[in-house]
Amino acid sequence: MNVLLHGVPGISNILTGFGRLFYIVSPSDTSFSTHQEVPDYVEKSTSYISFCVWIELLVLLLKGGHKGLQKARRSDFSRFSPSDLFNNMASSIFVLTTSLLFYDISLHTYIYIYKYHRIVDLDPHSIWVWVAGFLAADFVYYWFHRGLHEINVFWAAHVVHHSSEYYNLSVALRRSIVQPHIQTFFEMPAALFLPPSTYFVHKQFCLIYQFWLHTEFVGSLGYLEYIFNSPSAHRVHHGRNPYCIDKNYGATLMIWDVLFGTFELERRKEPVVYGLTHPINSFSPVTIQFHHYKHILQTVGSTQGFTNKLKVLFYGPGLHEGTPRTGLYEEIPEIDRDHPPPKYNPPLTTAINFYAIVQTGVMNFLYKIFAALHTNGSNWSTALGIYINIWWLAISVSCIHDHKPWALEIEVIRNVVVMITIVIAPQRQSFPYSLVAVQTISTIFAVFLYQSQRHKYATVTKMYAKTKQQ
């Protein structure tokens, strides 16, 4: 391969980058003596992930995915929504920025246990330790993922990922800002024997591998379905059909699901319908990230007895009086193949959808600046301002998606306030020119959108409100 690629600069690196998405890596190149040497493979993969997301979106547009695939899959009348795509991107940026702001509990807990309580010393450069790390990280993820589904207070975090009613590559980016910290509890046993440098390499690849699983373009892999996680297996995992609930937890391997009785094949005669059994019907990032915590608090408050309150927290989300720990699967609503439940997707004009897509680029740009400021350890007030703006941007645009009558006005106000802040801020001389340019363009675009779309938006909002009442 190196001979074939000789003289073609960058091609080898590109192939290596795409290979990481499928866990195609060299053990020798991914073995390190200390955890400080371990690269941020997730960050290194972001450009490849973004490329794949937009290519899939383009293919869906060219194939008419926005019009639906009624003949091919009667239970799925569309494969993507600009509103859903925006929220998926926003969730990913929330996780990336929040992880930089807060102490990495998972990493430091693992290092502490390994340093003071490990029961064996293993060579992180041994191929057998590398393989053991692969199996251990995947085994840990299986139980972590299963816990996210079977423990209500953990499900409150993971529900974010399952709240999308679509299934495309962008859904892989729809993540909880709380979930990464929960994994700490499940990986402690691995810290007793596995070097941190080995574990945190495989932990990253377990996450990266799952990106490509979120697509409908790949069918069944035959007998490999029983060994490796696949798009087909993960489609089942994301389903709200009764046969899909609490199935297929593995990250890269399905052998744990086969061994522990949680494996389920995709059924051709019963196409998967994605999302929650009780949809939230909102694009608000605050609602998406925190709605189930609110539900838990309300349930705990109305539940009698201390023991029963604990059960609300630590038993399954389907628990109620007279049911087993994880609830009754018989209570899961059946899916009518001929009349599947409608997806939440309030109609918007092309101009507004285009504006929302542009704002995903703005959010990504703001994240890059935020990450650079964090790395330099300077201008914390600026970094915090950018973090707040990212959330405000996402909330404001999601209000447009949810047809809030005052949403366009709020978005104009947000852009103007941010623009004024940039102009009058004491540290404005240190702002990169690109930040000023991007915000100026965003403000002009927002004002233009308001002027040209407010009457159409008001009309569509009223029509949508009437259809909801019918």
Over the stretch 85-132, which tens digit does the pLDDT of each residue have? 999 999 999 999 988 877 678 899 999 999 999 999 999 999 999 999
Spatial separation of the C-alpha atoms in residues 136 and 21, rounded to whole Å: 19
Q: How confident is the model at residue 416 (pLDDT cuts 50, 70, 90)?
A: very high
Query: Does residue 179 share a domain with residue 66?
Result: yes
pLDDT at 128: 98
380: pLDDT strictly greater than 80:
no
Query: Does residue 144 share a domain with residue 33?
Result: yes
Spatial separation of the C-alpha atoms in residues 18 and 49, rounded to whole Å: 9
Say if residue 446 is exposed, middle or buried (CB neighbours under 10 Å; 0-12, 13-18, 19+): buried
Position 112 in a domain: yes
Contact 225, 233 (CB under 8 A): yes
Q: What is the pLDDT of residues 38-60, one digit of tens each?
A: 999 998 999 999 999 999 988 88
Closest CA relative to residue 332, chosen from 260, 380, 276: 276
Query: Does residue 247 share a domain with residue 395?
Result: no
Average pLDDT of span 362-387: 84
Closest CA relative to residue 336, chosen from 401, 278, 270: 270
pTM of structure: 0.90
Query: Does residue 366 share a domain with residue 239?
Result: no
The CB-based long-range contact list for 275-282 (8 Å cut-off, 24+ gap) reads 275/162, 275/163, 275/164, 275/165, 275/238, 275/240, 275/343, 276/159, 276/162, 276/163, 276/240, 277/240, 277/245, 277/332, 277/333, 279/163, 279/165, 279/341, 279/344, 280/163, 281/344, 282/344, 282/398, 282/402
Closest CA relative to residue 133, chosen from 38, 43, 197, 208: 197
Spatial separation of the C-alpha atoms in residues 123 and 130, rounded to whole Å: 9
Dihedral angle sign, alpha carbons of residues 422, 424, 427, 429: positive
287: Cβ–Cβ under 8 A, 6 or more apart, which residues? 280
* Final residue in a domain of this structure, among 202, 227, 260: 260
Position 383 in a domain: yes
Of 144-148, 206-210, 318-322, the least confident: 318-322
Please tell me the number of Cα atoms within 13 Å of 180 on its side-chain side.
22
Query: Does residue 75 share a domain with residue 211?
Result: yes
Whole-number average pLDDT of the chain: 89
3: pLDDT strictly greater than 50:
no
Contact 384, 421 (CB under 8 A): no
Position 312 in a domain: no
* Final residue in a domain of this structure, among 229, 260, 291: 260
Closest CA relative to residue 271, chosen from 359, 201, 167, 372: 167
73: pLDDT strictly greater than 90:
no
Q: What is the DSSP letter of 253?
A: B
Give the total residue count for the chain: 470
Task: Supply angle C-alpha 364, 291, 170, rounded to 5.
Answer: 35
Average pLDDT of span 416-442: 86
Q: How confident is the model at residue 405 (pLDDT cuts 50, 70, 90)?
A: confident
Q: What is the pLDDT of residues 190-216, one digit of tens each?
A: 999 999 999 999 999 999 999 999 999
- Which DSSP string do the residues of 184-210 spell out, in sequence order? HHHHTGGGGTS-HHHHHHHHHHHHHHG
Q: Which amino acid is at 207?
A: L
Q: How confident is the model at residue 61 (pLDDT cuts 50, 70, 90)?
A: confident
Position 336 in a domain: no
Task: Supply angle C-alpha 188, 325, 244, rounded to 5.
Answer: 85
Q: How confident is the model at residue 469 (pLDDT cuts 50, 70, 90)?
A: low
Position 6 in a domain: no
pLDDT at 77: 40
Average pLDDT of span 293-316: 93
pLDDT at 468: 61
Position 324 in a domain: no
68: pLDDT strictly greater than 50:
no
Q: What is the DSSP letter of 274?
A: B
Residue 117 lies in domain: 11-260
pLDDT at 64: 60
pLDDT at 269: 87
Q: Which two tokens stand for residue 165?
A: 């009613």
pLDDT at 100: 83
337: pLDDT strictly greater than 80:
no
Number of domains the chain is built from: 2
pLDDT at 341: 85
Give the 3-state secondary structure of residue 228.
strand
pLDDT at 385: 87
Query: Does residue 376 share a domain with residue 252?
Result: no
pLDDT at 152: 96
50: Cβ–Cβ under 8 A, 6 or more apart, which residues? 364
239: Cβ–Cβ under 8 A, 6 or more apart, which residues? 245, 272, 273, 274
pLDDT at 465: 66
Residue tagged 């596995």 (tokens): 194
Query: Does residue 362 share a domain with residue 252?
Result: no
**Helices vs. strands in the chain: H and E counts, helices first:** 16, 0
pLDDT at 338: 77
Position 150 in a domain: yes
* Final residue in a domain of this structure, among 260, 280, 304: 260
Q: How confident is the model at residue 434 (pLDDT cuts 50, 70, 90)?
A: confident
Query: Does residue 181 share a domain with residue 62?
Result: yes
Position 325 in a domain: no
